[in-house]
A and B are shown apart, each in its own frame.
Chain A
Amino acid sequence: MHDAVRHSARAILRDAVLAAGLSAALALGANAIRSNGLPLVATTEYEVLVPCPEALGDVEGMSPGDPLLAADGTIVIDAGSAEEYAAWHLPGARSVPFDWLEPSPLEREVVRELLRARPQRIVLYGDGDDPDSGATFAGLIAGQGLRNVFFVSGGRAALQAAGGAR
């Protein structure tokens, strides 16, 4: 009985190898005669664009007049450029310019530093556009496992309109 099973398994394996060989011959033959055949060995990299999901966490918007902005344990981050920060910023805010094109190294550095300070909450404000750089930056920071990350709805302009002082 075992011999029969072994014989049968060997025959199945042999047939599968033959079928795979036949398939390869058919494939190469068909590729050789078709007008849009592929080179057998690709020499240039394929340009593939695969969107990798960003690690975005849940963040809440905060109104520009929210008292938590000035509360103890709050770290406020200005996500605007250095020039924007120099022109106006909320008192006590740190400047961490947000780079839309390559935010990752910067955000990791910021998170490390923030964790050392053991804050209760982090509030970011950006350009207030759609999408808002402050909200996006906040999402990226929250995506690294931090809770209590907020952004100021409306960004810098809303804060200025609400009467934030330099």
Chain B
Amino acid sequence: MSTRFVDWPGHAWLALAARLYLGVVFLLACIHKIAYPATFALDVATYDFLPLVLVNLFALVLPFVELVASAMLIVGFRARAGALLVALMMAAFMIALGVALSRGLDMSCGCFASQGAESDPISWLTVLRDVAWLALSVLVACCDRGLLGLDGIWKRRDALA
């Protein structure tokens, strides 16, 4: 990626919008999972993707990674690292979804709240949505300049000092 492309001022504003959007999305995504860990563990087990010994650990830790990443994105503290975490989660979700879909599993996504397969089914549209969020997180990781965030405030303060 050329430096001129990354340095285009418009990218900073696009990255700000993407940062706040992803922050809110992941904040909403983690609430139900943190409140009902056993239900989320069942969702994870339903994907039949992880060995049994890792299901609970994954179900416990992932929502807090989402929480911390969303907080980093919303307040703009180490936002690019938060975006990297989101990108990694998206990549993992896309692999799990792809495997489940290719095996023909007719199940709930479990992405936001645990719902039945009828009201929240997985589909290739779910994968497409994750691709869009992955693209937004890459935009933030590459182009965030700390607008309206703690990173920007500290950067300006350091520049003045």
Contacts and interface: CB of A to CB of B under 8 A. Distances in A.
B61 A19 contact: no
Interface stretch (A43-51, A67-75, A136-144): A43-51
B131 interface: no
B87 to A, nearest CB: 9
Interface stretch (A9-17, A82-90, A95-103, A156-164): A9-17
A41 interface: yes
Interface bracket on A: 20 to 34
A30 interface: yes
A106 interface: no
A22 B68 CA distance: 8
B68 A40 contact: no
Question: For chain B, what secondary structure do more than half of its interface residues adopt (helix, strand, loop), or is it mixed?
Answer: helix
A26 B38 contact: no
A30 B141 CA distance: 29
A45 to B, nearest CB: 6
Contacts of B45: 42, 45-46, 48
A104 interface: no
B84 A31 contact: no
Contacts of A20: 65, 68, 85
Contact of B85 (A16, A26, A45, A51): A16
The 4 closest A-B pairs by CB, nearest first: A15-B81, A46-B45, A27-B64, A16-B81
Interface of B: 3, 34, 37-38, 41-42, 45-46, 48, 52-53, 55-57, 59-61, 63-65, 67-69, 72, 78, 80-82, 84-85, 88, 103-107, 117, 141
5 contacts: A1-B3, A13-B81, A19-B69, A46-B41, A52-B106
